[in-house]
Structure 1
Amino acid sequence: MKWTSKILMLAAAVWVLQGSMPGSGEAQAKPYYEGKTILVIVGSGPGAGNDIRTRLFARHAAKHIPGKPQLVVQNRGGGGGLRARNYLYNIAKPDGLTIAEIIRGTGLQHAINEPAARFEADKFNWIGNLTAATAVCVGRIDRVGANLEEAVQRSKKTQLREGTTAAASTGAAVGKLLKKFSGLNSRLVAGYRGGAPIDLAMEKGEVDMRCGLVWS
């Protein structure tokens, strides 16, 4: 369906850099990063998948950067990645010394006009991807049906409940886009501490579905 392609275009896992890098044509006595430290912000808590990928990146990236700077990882979890992105946009100096591994799909909050998203996604400088991500929504077949069309029809009679960590989380944003483009009648049930608790809540019947990004 058309709504799927629109979500996929927005749902990339990204590395972002605040501010412009020194031009390659500038004459410099030594590499810009020589003797400097790059702060690498992680938009999740310690031990999460984003944190593990970021620390793996930081361990090996320095040898590929002219000047071989030191890379220091700092966790700024909260708000489904919004805390990290707001910090990068509003507080970090635009000197090329602060980069961030943003939770996949955080830019979706800007696309849906989330009030807590105090940034403009198109003003970041994007470095690249560590993983590929796809937006998905899953639910109990006895509650949502076997496919999207059936879920939309069922939701007209009984509103579906989407479990999520926070109203501003990536999963919530994916769900809002699904609702917008498909006409699904759903509402958020926020406050869960992660994917596993949401899955358990579906088993218990507390919620009917969950949305998010899967990566590889």
Structure 2
Amino acid sequence: MADREGVPHAGRRDLIRLGAGLGLAAALPGGASAQDFTGRTIEWIIPMSVGGGSDTWARFHLPFMNRHMPGNPTIVIRNITGGGGINGTNQFAARARPDGLTILGTTASIQFPFLLGDPRVRYDYANWVPVLASPTGGVMYIRPEIGVRGPGDIARLRATTGLKFGSQGPTSLDMVPALAFDLLGIDVQVVMGMQGRGQGRLAFERGETPIDYQTSSAYISQVMPLVREGKAVPLCSWGSLNDAGELVRDSNFPDLPHFAEFLQAATGRAPSGPAWEAWKALFIAGFGAQKFVVLPKTTPANLVNAYKEAFRKTIADAEYREKRGPVIGEYNETVGEPADRAYAAATTMSPEVRQWTRDWLQRRFNHTLGRE
């Protein structure tokens, strides 16, 4: 039996049979060169569960990497769960060798604890080098009976009582909409316990949570039909980052203002202040540069460059471009200098913004970092 990307389940069983230690393939004699990974096995660590967003993202790329890596090595995804992604990432940081045979896929739920100084984190993004950066986006929307169509209706929105939003947790990707609500000055009760954004959408459809957001692919496939039926009203997208790192309209939703535009129109002033700086940092780490593929920083340049070239070929692959929409959206993944800039932006937070965000989590949700 195979996954929808064509990756046999048996491959995961074979990996278990080969052994459980990270870097096992790296322990085999001989070194991989930039020109030839023939006969080698590469472990791609995904510190999240099978079937989740990160796992689906990685498995989408898998056949293209098998195709474009020199020597066509066997690339096997290994899922290590626990700690919201922290456990597997800690293991990669501790055990991965700089030989090009173990790579890591990161995501926002790994970036956020690092940025906020979660004491469970034993990894440092400064010790890795990115070979791919992958963005996504999202759209905030509301039920039509609220009577809000855009930022000009902010007074009505602020006067609306009983607004609820279904969240996966205080330090999940849902930090971005929760902080957006506060910046807009609207009173929204954030209800914890959703097992995924799909569950949040279903609560919206039932009328239990009148305001919601979905990442771009889910919004396009699941929410746009509701919009066409008059059952949901889009307010804004979160936006996208251009190559200069500036917040711009999401090309998937060019008719929607990005959040900074919406916020400025609603408040009558350009966004500023510590809450805005925190939102920007979280947006970049959560959406604008959400996922990376990384290697240990001490990996020789020829091996790093082999991965970069393979991802360049993947991005240019006609089959990849035809099929990427349902999985990653119509977003341009990047390699080289643009990926390096995205990596720096997504993994950097000033001490002042970090402390403000930690204090906000305590005030808003009574949540202390390191406590589930």
- What TM-score results when the alignment is normalised by the length of structure 1? 0.63
Structure 2 gap segments, 5+ residues each: 1-29, 217-327, 330-372
Who is 2:187 aligned against? Answer: 185
Who is 2:103 aligned against? Answer: 99
Report the CA distance shift for 1:169/1:158 in structure 2 as closer, same or farther (over 3 A): same
CA contact (8 A) 2:114 2:124 kept: no
CA contact (8 A) 1:163 1:208 kept: no
Q: Deviations over 1:47-66 (max 9, x none)?
A: 34442332232233134334
Who is 2:138 aligned against? Answer: 135
- Over the aligned positions, Cα root-mean-square deviation in angstroms equals 3.7
Who is 1:206 aligned against? Answer: 208
Who is 1:174 aligned against? Answer: 176
Is 1:164 equivalent to 2:199 in the alignment?
A: no
Q: Deviations over 1:24-75 (max 9, x none)?
A: xxxx986165554322123543234442332232233134334543211122
Q: Deviations over 1:158-195 (max 9, x none)?
A: 3632212233322x122134235434433421212223
Q: Deviations over 1:98-138 (max 9, x none)?
A: 323334x44662587374773555654222245x4113222
Structure 1 gap segments, 5+ residues each: 1-27
The letter of the residue matching 2:142 is: G
Who is 2:55 aligned against? Answer: 51
The letter of the residue matching 2:206 is: K
Q: Which has the larger radius of gyration?
A: 2
- Partner SS for 2:164: strand
1:197 and 1:209 mapped to 2: Cα distance? 13
Structure holding more strand per residue:
1
Identity between Structure 1 and Structure 2 (%)? 22
- What TM-score results when the alignment is normalised by the length of structure 2? 0.40
Structure holding more helix per residue:
2
Report the CA distance shift for 1:85/1:29 in structure 2 as closer, same or farther (over 3 A): closer
1:160 and 1:185 mapped to 2: Cα distance? 7
Who is 2:262 aligned against? Answer: none
Aligned residues: 185
2:204 and 2:117 mapped to 1: Cα distance? 26
Report the CA distance shift for 1:83/1:202 in structure 2 as closer, same or farther (over 3 A): farther
2:160 and 2:91 mapped to 1: Cα distance? 42
The letter of the residue matching 1:189 is: V
CA contact (8 A) 2:48 2:80 kept: yes
